[in-house]
Amino acid sequence: MSFFKKLFNRSKENENNMANVKLAVIFYSMGGTNYEMAKWAKEAGEAAGAEVKLLKVQELAPESVIEGNEAWKATIDATKDIPVATSDDIVWADAIIFSTPTRFGTMASQMKQFIDIQGGIWAEGKTVNKVVSAMSSAQNPNGGQEATILSLYTSMLHWGAIIASPGYTDPVLFGAGGNPYGTSVTVDQDGKMVEDVEDAVKHQATRTVNVAEMIKRGSSN
């Protein structure tokens, strides 16, 4: 085999190895908002060429509380076939997008527990250099949307992860409220999204995959 053919074959092999970023979209949703955002992120991740897993975190609330909330019950039913995220999913992923509602200005306890129980893989260095991004929702524009995302990023800094925030990398972000930390949305009393954030979510997911591709390509050189 000639030198140039060997070089070409090696280049194609590297290209194939880099073809698919593995993206985990991990959400917690009570009223369906973050589930919808997670589905948009999955769609955009796949369109960007990633292999995507859509995953939920374990519900912690007692059934007696859930039973009194029709929207909550409906969301649990709608997501019943979606796998619960595990540590293995974190290890598998090159990139992770988290989506969580705000709870008193921080992430929901269900999401926090999922992050808290990753100490084993963290101690083994298996969270290092994961490319992460986050999204949130609240019932008013100043209900802690940015603080929720930042609370999650604080944990990611301890993981040694690489944060891929959307910043102001596309004009579509301004139509969704202009949150540079991650897409966030206001939910009205009827459980409907106030801002049109679908395009912002999709841009954020695409950017996360693109950053992960760059990190993955760089680590293979």
C-alpha 57: how far from its chain's center? Answer: 12
Distance CA 117, CA 123 (A): 11
Structure letter (DSSP) for residue 137: E
Per-residue pLDDT for the chain (221 aa), expressed as one digit of tens each? 554 454 445 444 444 444 589 999 999 999 999 999 999 999 999 999 999 999 999 999 888 888 888 888 999 999 999 999 999 999 999 999 999 999 999 999 999 999 999 999 999 999 999 999 999 998 888 888 999 999 999 999 999 999 999 999 999 999 888 999 999 998 888 888 888 899 999 999 999 999 999 999 886 55
pTM attached to this predicted model = 0.89
* Contact predicate 42/110, CB 8 Å: no
Query: Which residues partner with 190 through β-bridges?
Result: none
Q: Given CA atoms 123, 163, 24, 26 in this order, what sign does their dihedral have?
A: positive
Which residue segments constitute the domains of the chain, with CATH numbers given?
20-220 (3.40.50.360)
Helix (H) or strand (E) holding 134: strand 131-138
